[in-house]
């Protein structure tokens, strides 16, 4: 459909055929190349889904347990037994912890940069926050394992001591490291730049007139933010949070280094244990046999579909907002 | 504000209501710090909270109450919000400085000439020494191949989106470019493994790793190139087209050269982004302890996988090497990042 529109446009631009055939051939080659590169993106996305499904099937057929509810991960044993219950719970819990911390702080940073800091200072701060995004996840893992975790153990102890009556904070093992909480905290730091960078862009798009109008009516700065900024940027803030969520769900190496991989659903988030889709693939890959790898691919497929859904919803919200607000 | 209140304010000769004096906030902060210090010195704790946390809570509550009494509810809320927003910023800076300083301190302690000029050949995990030369060369080669593939594809796709694209195809490509930026890196590795290694097209090799990096890099290049091409003024295109220059020549001779520095910057930022990726490489290559310049055959280590390998060995010497390699990796990324920013600042096409 779009092929025909493009070509009509081409001939419309040159109705009298003044340009020679060679020139049009050049245009056509170039259009073909560049469109091909664009279509490649669609093809790759489709191919990722297709190949993962294809390679996941053998293990799913061999699996003698329920793929969704089984807690053990023994795909290479006969009969093969594995399920994603532990992975799904671990991924979800760490992502929720990360979101609970990173979303308010990320918005706070974005507000600070957009409305509290002086413009030049704000720009420098934005650059610094972007730097945080450039730190590779393996370094977050290294730092998390050897520096961050020992330093925040006392926080986990405090949680279990004073809030232990809330079941998720209870700690019967008297061990506080390598837990879902630790992984969630490190993930929070890792997704912070994503959330703050996108929401900063959104905040900066709020029309100046809205802001000045509310300030002129006597609103305090916070009232201005609440009444002029938030209503305008709500869709952008939601999608910033969802893109951060996508990153938290798919993070591999940092989580793999921090969690002590245990195949047991344990909702006591301060105790060692837990696992996530991505971390499990990285940790189990080397030792996995044929069915084992296929099982890991199956879990990767689930991860891919979840992040795909999260990202598509986030992007859809942004795209829809663009149409309505006319912001570019 | 009621009429009476307005009259009172006007009678006092002020346009605004009563505000906290300028010295109010610093005094409160000082007081809160003193209380924090007291907690620290006496060891007396409130439900086990650390002295710093106590000081922060005292400051927040003290300011809110003072503001509530003097200025009223609206200003009290505003002050709480302001304090919290400033606090988020401190919270965000802390981990960044913490990571950078830790990596710097621990990395520098292992940096020496042999660390950069030797490999891990014949170095046992427990033994100090050895180096990252093989890993650094591996990173250069893998990231280099990924760049050579991703940048042309990415820029071409961006040209399609900006110069040719129309209708639904443009929408879907643009949409999926954004979605593709969110593909988890481990999934990129799984894809290359299933599509190219299991099918026997490639072996587990540096080249397979580079292709996995491409999956992560292409959408980033497309997005940044698209932004750059968009700010090339339309006048330039129209002027050239009006002179009868064919469209492909307009793009190659006018649009791309105008945006070239931005395109390079975008490509370099994409390089910086994938240079630290670990997960996809673990699925697509094996780790080597020595230099292997052949990306198509045999195992090849890169800086991130070197760090992973050294951490997993877990000895004091190997963890030290991991810190050294981490510093080398951060420096490598920062240099690319800074170069890209300088280039962008100096040669950015002037948007009007």
pLDDT in tens, B164-174: 988 899 999 99
Q: Which pLDDT value is given to residue A119?
A: 86
CATH of the domain at B327: 1.10.3720.10
- Measured torsion, CA atoms of residues A139, A143, A149, A151, in degrees rounded to the nearest 10: -150
Q: Environment class of residue A326 by beta-carbon count within 10 Å: exposed (0-12), middle (13-18) or buried (19+)? A: exposed
Q: Which residues of B touch A297 (CB under 8 A)?
A: 190, 193-194
**Does residue B138 belong to any structural domain of this protein?**
yes
The count of other CB atoms within 10 Å of the CB of residue B243 is: 8
Q: What is the DSSP annotation of A167-195?
A: GGG--SS---SSBHHHHHHHHHHHHHHHH
On whether both B19 and B95 belong to a single domain, the answer is: yes
- Choose one of B108, B141, B158: the last residue of a domain: B108
Q: Which pLDDT value is given to residue B231?
A: 87
Q: Is residue B143 a contact partner of residue B211, using CB atoms and an 8 Å limit?
A: no
Q: Which of A136, A281, A312 sits opposite B186 (nearest CB)?
A: A281
The per-type count for chain B, helices as H runs and strands as E runs, is 15, 0
On whether both B195 and B340 belong to a single domain, the answer is: yes
**Does residue B116 belong to any structural domain of this protein?**
no
C-alpha–C-alpha distance, residues A186 and A143, integer Å: 9
B48: left (phi over 0), alpha (psi -120 to 50) or beta: left
Q: What is the mean pLDDT of chain A?
A: 87
On whether both B95 and B221 belong to a single domain, the answer is: no
**Does residue B113 belong to any structural domain of this protein?**
no
Q: Is residue A23 a contact partner of residue B247, using CB atoms and an 8 Å limit?
A: no
pLDDT in tens, B53-85: 888 888 888 888 888 888 888 889 999 999 999
Q: In Å, how far is A86's CA from the nearest CA of chain B?
A: 18
- Choose one of B59, B92, B108: the last residue of a domain: B108
On whether both B152 and B234 belong to a single domain, the answer is: yes
Give all strands (DSSP E) within A158-273, no chain letters: none
Beta carbons of B276 and A135 less than 8 Å apart: yes
Q: What is the ipTM of this complex?
A: 0.87
- Choose one of B91, B108, B125: the last residue of a domain: B108
Contact with chain B for residue A300, Cβ under 8 A: yes
Q: Which pLDDT value is given to residue A3?
A: 42
Beta carbons of B323 and A253 less than 8 Å apart: no
- Measured torsion, CA atoms of residues A136, A137, A140, A141, in degrees rounded to the nearest 10: -140
Is the preceding omega at residue A113 within 30 degrees of 0, hence cis?
no
A-B CB pairs within 8 A amount to 281
Q: Mean pLDDT throughout B9-14?
A: 52
SS3 A74: strand
C-alpha–C-alpha distance, residues A28 and B319, integer Å: 56
Q: What is the DSSP annotation of B178-230?
A: HHHTTS-HHHHHHHHIIIIITTTSS-SSHHHHHHHHHHHHHHHHHHHHHHHHH
**Does residue B214 belong to any structural domain of this protein?**
yes
Q: What is the DSSP annotation of A217-273?
A: TT--HHHHIIIIIHHHHHHHHHHHHHHHHHHHHH--HHHHHHS---SS----TTSB-
Q: Is residue B219 a contact partner of residue B177, using CB atoms and an 8 Å limit?
A: yes
The whole-model pTM stands at 0.88
C-alpha–C-alpha distance, residues B179 and B188, integer Å: 13
C-alpha–C-alpha distance, residues B338 and B332, integer Å: 10
pLDDT in tens, A81-118: 999 999 999 999 999 999 999 999 999 999 999 999 98
Domain of residue B323 covers: 133-347
Count the domains in chain B.
2
Beta carbons of B179 and A312 less than 8 Å apart: yes
**Pairing of β A81-82 and β A73-74:** antiparallel
C-alpha–C-alpha distance, residues A174 and A156, integer Å: 11
Q: Is residue A172 a contact partner of residue A268, using CB atoms and an 8 Å limit?
A: yes
Packing angle of the helix pair A230-250, A277-284 (nearest 10 deg): 20
On whether both B224 and B178 belong to a single domain, the answer is: yes
C-alpha–C-alpha distance, residues B185 and B217, integer Å: 10
Least Cα distance to B128 among B328, B288, B301, B321 occurs for: B321
Q: Is residue B282 a contact partner of residue B299, using CB atoms and an 8 Å limit?
A: no
C-alpha–C-alpha distance, residues A60 and B101, integer Å: 47
If contacts are CB pairs under 8 Å, which of residues 143-172 in chain A contact chain B?
143, 145-148, 154, 158, 161-162
Contact with chain A for residue B251, Cβ under 8 A: yes
Structure tokens at A133: 């995004």
pLDDT band at B348 (very low <50, low <70, confident <90, very high): low
A contact test, residue of B82, B160, B244, B344 with most A CBs within 10 A: B160
Q: Which residues of A touch B275 (CB under 8 A)?
A: 136
**Does residue B268 belong to any structural domain of this protein?**
yes
On whether both B138 and B61 belong to a single domain, the answer is: no
Q: Which residues of A touch B85 (CB under 8 A)?
A: 108, 111-112, 116
Look up the CATH number of domain A81-325: 1.10.3720.10
Q: Which residues of B touch A40 (CB under 8 A)?
A: 153, 157, 218
Those residues of chain A that have pLDDT short of 50 are 1-19, 326-328
Beta carbons of A143 and B98 less than 8 Å apart: yes
Beta carbons of B187 and A303 less than 8 Å apart: yes
Beta carbons of A38 and B91 less than 8 Å apart: no
């Amino acid at each position: 459909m779009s092929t025909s529109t493009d070509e009509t446009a081409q001939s419309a631009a040159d109705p009298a055929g003044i340009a020679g055939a060679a020139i049009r051939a050049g245009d056509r080659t170039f259009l073909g190349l560049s469109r091909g590169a664009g279509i490649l993106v669609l093809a790759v996305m489709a191919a990722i889904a297709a190949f993962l499904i294809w390679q996941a099937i053998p293990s799913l057929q061999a699996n003698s347990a329920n793929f969704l509810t089984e807690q053990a991960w023994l795909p290479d044993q006969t009969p093969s037994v594995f399920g994603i219950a532990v992975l799904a719970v671990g991924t979800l819990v760490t992502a929720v912890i990360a979101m609970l911390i990173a979303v308010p702080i990320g918005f706070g940073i974005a507000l600070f940069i957009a409305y509290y800091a002086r413009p030049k200072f704000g720009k420098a701060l934005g650059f610094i926050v972007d730097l945080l995004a450039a730190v590779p996840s393996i370094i977050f893992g290294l730092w998390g394992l050897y520096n961050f975790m020992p330093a925040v153990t006392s926080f986990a102890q405090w949680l279990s001591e004073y809030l232990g009556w809330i079941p998720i904070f209870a700690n019967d093992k008297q061990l506080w490291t390598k837990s879902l909480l630790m992984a969630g905290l490190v993930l929070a730091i890792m997704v912070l730049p994503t959330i703050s960078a996108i929401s900063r862009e959104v905040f900066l798009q709020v029309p100046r007139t809205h802001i000045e109008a509310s300030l002129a009516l006597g609103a305090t700065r916070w009232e201005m933010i609440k009444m002029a900024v938030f209503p305008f940027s709500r869709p952008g803030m939601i999608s910033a949070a969802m893109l951060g969520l996508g990153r938290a769900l798919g993070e591999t190496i940092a989580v793999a280094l921090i969690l002590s991989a245990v195949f047991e659903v344990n909702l006591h988030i301060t105790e060692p244990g837990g696992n996530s889709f991505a971390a499990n693939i990285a940790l189990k890959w080397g030792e996995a046999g044929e069915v084992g790898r296929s099982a890991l691919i199956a879990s990767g497929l689930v991860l891919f579909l979840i992040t795909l859904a999260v990202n598509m919803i986030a992007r859809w919200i942004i795209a829809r907002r663009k149409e309505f607000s006319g912001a570019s | 504000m009621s009429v009476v209140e307005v009259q009172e304010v006007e009678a006092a000769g002020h346009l605004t209501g009563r505000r906290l004096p300028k010295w109010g906030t610093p005094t409160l902060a000082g007081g809160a710090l003193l209380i924090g210090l007291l907690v620290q010195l006496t060891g007396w704790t409130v439900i086990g909270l650390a002295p710093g946390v106590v000081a922060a809570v005292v400051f927040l509550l003290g300011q809110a109450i003072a503001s509530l009494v003097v200025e009223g509810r609206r200003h009290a809320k505003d002050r709480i919000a302001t304090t919290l927003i400033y606090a988020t910023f401190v919270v965000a800076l802390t981990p960044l400085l913490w990571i950078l300083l830790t990596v710097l301190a621990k990395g520098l302690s292992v940096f020496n000439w042999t660390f950069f000029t030797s490999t891990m050949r014949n170095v046992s995990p427990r033994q100090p020494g050895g180096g990252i030369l093989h890993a650094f060369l591996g990173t250069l080669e893998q990231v280099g191949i990924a760049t050579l593939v991703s940048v042309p594809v990415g820029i071409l796709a961006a040209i399609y989106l900006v110069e040719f694209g129309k209708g639904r195809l443009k929408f879907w490509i643009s949409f999926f470019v954004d979605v593709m930026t969110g593909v988890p890196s481990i999934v990129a590795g799984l894809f290359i493994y299933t599509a190219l290694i299991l099918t026997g097209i490639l072996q587990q090799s540096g080249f397979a790793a580079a292709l996995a990096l491409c999956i992560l890099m292409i959408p980033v290049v497309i997005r940044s190139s698209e932004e750059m091409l968009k700010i090339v003024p339309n006048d330039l295109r129209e002027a050239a087209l009006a002179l009868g220059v064919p469209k492909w020549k307009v793009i190659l001779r006018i649009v791309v050269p105008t945006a070239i520095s931005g395109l390079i910057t975008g490509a370099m930022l994409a390089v910086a982004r994938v240079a630290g990726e670990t997960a996809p490489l673990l699925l697509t290559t094996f780790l080597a302890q020595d230099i292997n310049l052949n990306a198509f055959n045999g195992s090849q280590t890169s800086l991130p996988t070197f760090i992973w390998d050294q951490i997993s060995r877990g000895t004091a010497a190997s963890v030290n090497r991991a810190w050294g390699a981490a510093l080398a990796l951060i420096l490598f990324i920062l240099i690319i990042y800074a170069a890209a920013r300088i280039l962008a600042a100096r040669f950015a096409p002037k948007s009007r």
